[in-house]
Structure 1
Amino acid sequence: MADRRLFALVSMLIGISIILIYSLSVYTTILFGVNEFHFAIRQTIFGFLSIFVIWLLAQGDPDKLLTPIGFTLFIGSAILMVAMPFLPEFLVSAVGGAKRWIKVFGFSLAPVEFFKVGFVYFLAWSFSRKLGHHGGMGVKEEFIRFIPYGLIFVGAMFIIAIVQNDLGQVVVLGLTLLFMLMFAGSSFRFFLTLLIGALIFFLFFIFTAEHRILRIKSWWALAQNSVLEIFPESVAAQLRVPTEVEPYQIGHSLNAIHNGGLFGVGMSNGTFKLGFLSEVHTDFILAGLAEEFGFMGVLVVVIIFVLMIQRIFKIANRTEDSRIYLFSLGIAFLLAFAFLVNAYGISGITPIKGISVPFLSYGGSSILAASIGIGMVLMASKKTKMD
């Protein structure tokens, strides 16, 4: 029997999402001249569809269905991402010159969201067959063993970061790959080596794109006052960024969080959603949650999310199948890193990456892809002994 607690926790997050989308999208509906329930209805459709998909996948036989579904997501989404720049405009939606969404029956779906789930399954399937404990191997031997996966990741990184101009997704996928490698049996020394290499590549991508440099400067403008206090004034003066690049979005996000206090201003009573945070129902949904429901509201969501991750870890730990073990861990890492990257971004700790909050942010692709991942984990959980 599939893990019912995990199903219940995910369903709770989806239900909370529908309420938040209705409450926080009021300004956006006026801005686009649509019905006040427009975004809430669309989120409700995808929410119930996602819950049904989770339930449906949970009924399947993991020995027969996991691999076909995983490879369909991996290969199919990769083909779509490669083809998207060449597709006509009536089939794709572009933002900032990057084509990221395919139009399907009046909705827009982002193949990268489904690719992430497929990529995690491919890694789990391949790691379980090719990798094992490092057994005293040197870093050079481990690196040679890793080269095929590195090439695949570089290819995915090129498509996502360069063609689709979406570095945030690369960060989440890269972190997931690193941690899956470690749990697959690689040494901690090799893990650190890859982590340092990833940071170098990350800096390379930042400093080769002007808009990313401006984003880093905007973030630093907000964080610099507290950080530079520990440096001598002569050093601090060289590192200080002019205040005119202060990131107004992060500033409004922090003000919304502060305005919410302990218990919030009440549902629909938030003010920073009224044009100050232009994407409050998507990337800044945690800031909107904090303003209207306060610290306690955020705490409830975090507890549900942590319990969800804990249930996935428990499924991983109670299986003897290394493929299911690694896939479950990968989905948990994928969801956890996305949540953390978003939370750190809207609170000013790190630069904003444009990553949605799993199961909370508005967007059919994100919620449906994450639900497919959870459904596959639930399908796999039937091979474990859960309490």
Structure 2
Amino acid sequence: MNLEKKHLLNYSILIPYLIMSVLGLIVIYSTTSASLIQYGMNPFRSVINQGLFWIVSLVAIAFIYKLRLDFLKKEKLLTLVIFIEIILLIIAKFFTQEVNGANGWIVLGPLSFQPAEYLKVIIVWMMALTFSKWQEDIKTYDYQAILRGHLFPRKFNDWRVYAIILILLVAAQPDLGNASIIVLTAITMFLVSGVGYRWFSAVLTLIVGVSGAFIGLTALVGVDNMAKVPVFGYVAKRFSAYFNPFKDLTDSGHQLANSYYAMSNGGWFGRGLGNSIEKLGYLPESTTDFVFSIVIEELGLIGAVFILALVFFLILRIMLVGIKAKDPFNSMMALGVGSMMLMQVFVNIGGISGVIPSTGVTFPFLSQGGNSLLVLSIAIAFVLNIDANEKREEILREAQVLMDTDQV
């Protein structure tokens, strides 16, 4: 049977993606147009830039959707991509200018990109390929199959070596936001790899315990004293704002306090699209990290809940593809993409609401940033391809059963 992929397209994923992308363009215009007009620039400048990235993203989705998934299972290709990513992260750290306290952007003329954004998909790809090949061992030996009998890797080409190097390079920039998303995604993929369910509660308890102990230690010792520790100085202000954003409204607590003001201004129904007060120079990063605060201010709690519901619906549909998939690699890949998006939403919303310390993570689709949109689009393209292949295989299996029945 010759089944065309265009007839197997999952519209329950594609349509929410398109809606969120269009909403993103509207939000970007709303959050950027006023400042662009103030500086005498084209108010559509940011929307045009984002729109160009969206067009590239749509082309990428169409291209990836037509590919055979076998290329993702080639270890040599993955190894090459990992080494390129390591080189790009090193260049971003040591050979670029600092932006907002971090070295994470590579600028090439009018274009710029952030290697850490693309690492999120690479980690999902790497872990999906690794765990899918270990399914039989995991069934027999549980988590010991993943550790290969050793807690620490003994070979350089061990997947754990690659993961540690990549995560440390991102954290050293320092980009603790993306590093957190990558670590949380990796942990989630470990827990859904087939290991015993009891390890889920154990790992969750460990994460909560370590995080709580670190926050408690910081509160006990004091942020100023913790800031003297090497590397920690970058996040000291964020912890200071986390404990009490109103203590220093002109410095460390400025962002989070104004994020609270924006959400308070929005109320139930918002001030109206384009009528935000905080975006007019009061709330820094209102177009990226804190864009959802502006969304709440303009569209209100009801509008924000609708957008969150749409995002969670998209994530749920992606994860359902992974749950239903018969092929272990397809299952792990889809679940990894869904986990990556879920963790990004959690870290962003947690940061702007003060539930967790702010880490400078963008909100999917709504934040200004072509790299983030492109990465999300590539990840969704993989899921669409996986879903189409799984549907085709299922149809072929059913057709074969019918043929065998007729022959009997």
What TM bracket, shorter-length normalisation? Answer: 0.7 to 0.9
* Cα displacement (A) at 1:31: 6.4
Identify the residue that residue 260 of structure 1 maps to in structure 2.
266
Structure-2 residue corresponding to 1:361: 367
- 1:324 is aligned, of 330, 348, 371, to 330
Give the aligned residue type for 2:242: W
Partners of 2:288 and 2:362 within 8 A in 1: yes
State the partner residue of 2:234.
211
Show the counterpart of 1:52. Answer: 59
Which residue matches 2:184?
Answer: 175
The 5 Å alignment of 1:1-387 reads: 1-29=8-36, 34-64=41-71, 67=74, 73-87=81-95, 92-96=96-100, 98-132=102-136, 134-135=138-139, 137=141, 143=147, 144=149, 147=152, 148-162=158-172, 164-191=173-200, 196=206, 200=210, 203=214, 207=226, 208=229, 209-222=232-245, 247-385=253-391
The answer to which structure, 1 or 2, has the higher relative contact order (CA under 8 A, 6+ apart) is 1
User: 1:53 is aligned with what amino acid?
Assistant: A
Report the alpha carbon displacement of residue 217 of structure 1 after superposing the two structures with TM. Answer: 1.9
CA distance in 2, matches of 1:116, 1:50: 17
How far the C-alpha of 1:130 sits from its partner, in A, is 2.5
Q: CA RMSD in A?
A: 3.1
Amino acid at match of 1:278: P
Contact 1:17 1:359 in 2 (8 A): yes
Change (3 A) 1:97 1:291: closer
Work out the CA distance in 2 between the residues paired with 1:141 and 1:22. 50
In the aligned structure 2, how far is the partner of 1:296 from the partner of 1:72? 46
- Count residues with an aligned counterpart: 365
Describe the shift of the 1:317–1:146 C-alpha distance in structure 2 as closer, same or farther (beyond 3 A): farther
Structure 2 vs 1, CA of residues 86 and 295 (structure 1 numbering), >3 Å: closer, same or farther?
closer
Identity of matched residues, %: 26
Deviation at 1:324, TM superposition (A): 0.9
Counterpart Cα distance in 2 of 1:72 and 1:358? 28
Contact kept? 1:317, 1:325, Cα under 8 Å:
yes
Q: CA deviation at 1:136?
A: 7.2
Q: Residue by residue, what CA displacement relative to the aligned partner does 1:295-316 show, whole Å, maximum 9, x if unpaired?
A: 1211221121111111111211
Which letter maps to 1:342?
N
Q: What is the alpha-carbon distance in structure 1 between the residues aligned to residue 57 and residue 80 of structure 2?
A: 18
- How much does 1:214 deviate? 2.6
Give the counterpart letter for 2:188 in structure 1: F
Mapped partners of 1:243, 1:42: distance in 2: 33
Q: Counterpart of 1:365 in structure 2: which amino acid?
A: N
- How many Å separate the matches in 1 of 2:379 and 2:167? 21
- One-letter code aligned to 2:163: F
Give the superposition deviation at 1:73.
4.7
What is the distance in 2 between the residues matched to 1:358 and 1:66?
27
Report the AA paired with residue 161 of structure 1: A
1:200/1:329 Cα in 2 relative to 1: closer, same or farther (>3 Å)?
same
Superimposed CA distance per residue, residues 290-344 of structure 1 (whole angstroms, 9 cap, x where no aligned partner): 1111112112211211111111112112211101100110110001100111011
Distance 1:135 1:59 in 2: 33
1:34 Cα deviation (Å)? Answer: 3.1
Task: State the AA in 1 paired with 2:235.
Answer: R
Indicate the structure (1 or 2) with the bigger Cα radius of gyration.
2
Which residue type is aligned with residue 92 of structure 2?
M
Q: CA distance change for structure 1 residues 171 and 284 in 2, over 3 Å: closer, same or farther?
A: same
Please give the secondary structure, in 1, of the residue aligned with 2:318.
helix
SS in 2 for 1:95: coil
**Aligned residue type for 2:128:** A
SS in 2 for 1:108: strand
1:75–1:120 CA distance, 2 compared to 1 (3 A): farther
Closer, same or farther: CA 287–197 of 1 in aligned 2, 3 Å: closer
Alpha-carbon distance change, 244 to 11 in structure 1, aligned in 2, over 3 angstroms: closer
- In structure 2, the residue matched to 1:229 is none
Following the alignment from structure 2 to structure 1, what is the Cα–Cα distance between the partners of residues 57 and 39? 26
Aligned to 2:398: none
AA paired with 1:15?
Answer: V
Distance in 2 (alpha carbons) for counterparts of 1:332 and 1:275? 34
- Any gaps of 5 or more consecutive residues in structure 1? 224-240
